[in-house]
Each structure stands twice: as structure tokens, then as C-alpha cells.
């Protein structure tokens, strides 16, 4: 039951080129930056990433994106990440954009063993009918477009079929955890981290505060250890390094 690893390098030792990764975080909150930076140092490429967004500037997945290590992104939000937009429009990156709630449920469904589900989100749009640009040709044309999805009517309402998501690995960041892998997330970092963790066949969690098993009230556990295979305890310096926080002092 002891899932502790001694370093990020050990935690990522079997992550190789071309694997799929579910990565937690919401914006710049709750992003597993230590694991992402260690993955950058490993030099792996061709990664297929599933995450709400791809970081920004020099933080989060933007580190891997800027280095050309990501081949495909499944997510909801490009936002202010200019390099993400540039690579997508230049045909260097394959991108599947998904409504945010649908992405969350696809991750949860995959982790729960549910292969597919019906949702009203996207009915009557290209999300259901197909034709969304997944990859551009670099000259303004579409090289690869999304296929149409099954639409079915229930009680007079149309729903589109969405597949659950499973990935080879998942990288998440928790505010608190024990060596059995039970995790607690802080505020908005709970939005996608538990879902990403569920979707990964091998889930690696970096933990800001490591506690002994039993120290977390069972009712307070956001993600049980059954979904976590490796736990990396962060140093105080690593735990305190949060790109989203900017200290201001009044005069």
C-alpha cells in the first residue's frame, strides 16, 4: 500500500513517446508543475494530452507545448495561450475542442468504466454533426475534421453520444495526501484533478502536504487511493511555488 516514490524522475520512468496523458488543473490552479517539468527534462515527445487547458506563458503544459513535445490536445479552452493557438492554426498540433462539462463527464465516465453516455450538449452543432477542424493544413484549409456522432432521441429530446476517456497515465496535484494515495484537493483545483486521476490507467499524484494514513477523515477524501498508483511528496519549496499566486503588499 506504500505508493510513495522518491523523485519525479522515478515516478515518470515508464512514460515514453506517444503516450496519452490526462493532466489535472483548472487554469493555473492545481497544476502538477513538478511532474510536468520533470517530463520536459525526460525529453519525451508526441504526447496525447487531455486537459481542460494547456497552461499559459511558462507554466503548466505550456512548457511541453513550447518545446514541441505535444502532438494532440483534447481540451476545452485555448484562452490566452498564443503558442497553443499558433501551433493549432499552423497545422503543427491536432486539437479536439470539447464543451467543458462534456470533457469533465467523459473523464469521469472513463474512470468509472462507462464506455459512453448521451448528453444534450452539442446537439445541432458541429460537435455532433462533425466538421470541427482537428488539424489545419497550415494554409488556411482543414486537413482533418471531426467525424459525426450518433444522435438519439429520448422523451422527445435529442442527445449526442460521447465516449468515455481513458489515458495511459494521469498527472495530478493535491493539497494533501497519504502514502496510500488518498487525496484532498483545494478549491477550484478540485474541478478537474479528481476526474483526470480517475481516467488514467497509471495515476501519479504530486502532494503538497503528505500525512500519515488515517490522518484524513474518510468523509474529507476527495479521491480514494484506489485511483492512484504513485505519490510524490513535494518539498516545501516545490509546494509553495504556485504560479497563480501573486503576493501584494499594501503601502
Q: Domains in the chain, ordered, with CATH?
A: 4-115+164-240 (3.40.1080.10)
pLDDT in tens, 210-241: 999 999 999 999 999 999 999 999 999 888 88
**Which bin fits 59, alpha (ψ -120 to 50), beta or left (φ > 0)?**
beta
Given a contact cutoff of 8 angstroms between Cβ atoms, the answer to whether 179 and 3 are in contact is yes
pLDDT attached to residue 6: 96
How much is the pLDDT for 58?
80
Residue 245 reports pLDDT greater than 60: no
CA distance 151 to 189: 33
**Which residues in the chain belong to E strands, given as ranges?**
4-5, 20-23, 47-50, 70-75, 94-97, 116-119, 133-136, 142-145, 151-154, 157-163, 167-178, 183-184, 200-211, 230-233
CA distance 12 to 35: 8
Q: Decide: residue 169, CB within 10 A, 0-12 exposed, 13-18 middle, 19+ buried.
A: buried
**Is the distance from CB of 50 to CB of 165 less than 8 angstroms?**
yes
Q: Over the stretch 70-127, which tens digit does the pLDDT of each residue have?
A: 999 999 988 778 999 999 999 999 999 999 999 999 999 999 999 999 999 999 999 9
Distance of CA 91 to the CA centre of its chain: 22
Side-chain-side CA neighbours of 199 within 13 Å: the count stands at: 30
Average pLDDT over residues 144-148: 97
Nearest alpha-carbon partner for 159 in 121, 106, 105, 104: 121
Looking at residue 246, its pLDDT comes to: 64
The pLDDT value recorded for residue 244 is: 66
Task: Report the distance separating Cα 136 and Cα 89, nearest Å.
Answer: 6
Neighbours of 164 (CB within 10 A): 18
Percent of all residues in the chain with a pLDDT value above 90, rounded to a whole number: 87
Amino acid at each position: 500500500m506504500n505508493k510513495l516514490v522518491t523523485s519525479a524522475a522515478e515516478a515518470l520512468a515508464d512514460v515514453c513517446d506517444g503516450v496519452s496523458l490526462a493532466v489535472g488543473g483548472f487554469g493555473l490552479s492545481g497544476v502538477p508543475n513538478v511532474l510536468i517539468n520533470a517530463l520536459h527534462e525526460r525529453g519525451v515527445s508526441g504526447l496525447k494530452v487531455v486537459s481542460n487547458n494547456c497552461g499559459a506563458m511558462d507554466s503548466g503544459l505550456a512548457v511541453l507545448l513550447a518545446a514541441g513535445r505535444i502532438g494532440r490536445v483534447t481540451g476545452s479552452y485555448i484562452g490566452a495561450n498564443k503558442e497553443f493557438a499558433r501551433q493549432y492554426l499552423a497545422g503543427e498540433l491536432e486539437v479536439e475542442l470539447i464543451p467543458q462539462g462534456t470533457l469533465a463527464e467523459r473523464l469521469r465516465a472513463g474512470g468509472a468504466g462507462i464506455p459512453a453516455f448521451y448528453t444534450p450538449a452539442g446537439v445541432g452543432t458541429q460537435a455532433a454533426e462533425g466538421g470541427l477542424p482537428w488539424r489545419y493544413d497550415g494554409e488556411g484549409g482543414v486537413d482533418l475534421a471531426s467525424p459525426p456522432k450518433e444522435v438519439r432521441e429520448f422523451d422527445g429530446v435529442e442527445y449526442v453520444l460521447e465516449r468515455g476517456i481513458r489515458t495511459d497515465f494521469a498527472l495530478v496535484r493535491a493539497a494533501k495526501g497519504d502514502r496510500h494515495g488518498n487525496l484532498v484537493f483545494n478549491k477550484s483545483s478540485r474541478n478537474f484533478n479528481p476526474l483526470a486521476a480517475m481516467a488514467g490507467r497509471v495515476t501519479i499524484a504530486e502532494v503538497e502536504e503528505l500525512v500519515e494514513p488515517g490522518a484524513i477523515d474518510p468523509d474529507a477524501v476527495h479521491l480514494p487511493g484506489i485511483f492512484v498508483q504513485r505519490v510524490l511528496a513535494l518539498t516545501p519549496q516545490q509546494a509553495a511555488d504556485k504560479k497563480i499566486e501573486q503576493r501584494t503588499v499594501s503601502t
